Amino acid sequence: MKNIFLSKIAKITVDILLVAGPILSMTSAQHEGSASWGALHCIVSMAWYALMIVHIWQHWRLTKALVKPKVMKRNKITFLTLLGFILMTFIIFLFVVNVGDIFVKIHHGAASLFSKPLIVHTIHKFRRFVQLFGKNDK
């Protein structure tokens, strides 16, 4: 039996939610108290983070191959997006220790850096996303 997360509908659903996630996350970050764990910003962001893990797992063969210089060179944007994800993961661990002003500033800077390759990655992979609606189940 095929894994449910690798189905065409799962990939489409995850991709759509991944596009909506940053919009909801950035919008909810504007509100007072967004740095607390129970805030909408944190809840939306953690759900989005979980979806990113699923997305990385859905493309695990490429993710593993990105450590090879030849593959990394052909997939620079994907590699930069993955580095941004790793940086954000590190910052989440900092938040577990302490949600102080300095960590919020670091988070804000890293999120700003991460957003650029993320937007380019989304646009760059849009054609592949549209192909998920085709007849062939690859």
Checking if the pLDDT of 53 tops 90, the result is yes
Contact assessment for residue 107 and residue 92, using Cβ atoms and an 8 Å cutoff: no
- What pLDDT is recorded for position 2? 60
Span 83-101, pLDDT tens digits: 888 988 888 888 778 777 7
Span 19-37, pLDDT tens digits: 898 888 888 877 776 667 7
pTM to 2 decimal places: 0.78
Span 99-119, pLDDT tens digits: 777 887 888 888 888 888 888
Nearest partner of 122 among 80, 74, 63, 67, judged by Cα: 80
How far, in Å, CA of 67 to CA of 63, rounded?
A: 8
